[in-house]
């Protein structure tokens, strides 16, 4: 497999992992499983409600920086970073 092809498949794998986290923290915890999660209370927040209105947003921010960081590493490993 050529260097560019293996770079691309590593990238796709990373994107897939991030997309799973993205889906879980918003759609799964915030919508699909919101009712069972609401039985857990954190301070004044019901947990499902917290994910929908607070938690998912924090995860999104962390996720983008995680992705940017890992991609930077991949760029270097495959020698495809910009000059």
Q: Which residues bind another protein (CB under 8 A)?
A: 4, 7-8, 11, 15, 18-19, 22, 26-27, 30-32, 34-35, 38, 42-46, 49-50, 52-54, 56-58, 60-61, 63-65, 67-68, 71-72, 75, 79-83
Q: Decide if 59 contacts 21 (C-beta within 8 A).
A: yes
CB 41 → another protein: shortest distance, Å? 9
Which of 22, 34, 14, 13 is closest to 61 using CA atoms? 22
Nearer to another protein, 1 or 44 (CB): 44
CB 74 to another protein: min, Å: 10
Classified as helix, coil or strand, 81 is coil
Helix or strand (DSSP H, E) at 41? strand 41-42
């Amino acid at each position: 497999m050529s260097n560019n092809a293996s770079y691309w498949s590593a990238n796709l794998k990373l994107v897939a992992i991030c997309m799973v986290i993205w889906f879980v923290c918003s759609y799964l915890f915030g919508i699909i499983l919101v009712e069972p999660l609401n039985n857990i209370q954190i301070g004044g927040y019901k947990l499902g409600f917290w994910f929908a209105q607070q938690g998912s947003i924090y995860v999104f921010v962390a996720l983008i920086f995680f992705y940017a960081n890992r991609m930077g590493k991949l760029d270097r490993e495959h020698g495809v970073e910009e000059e």
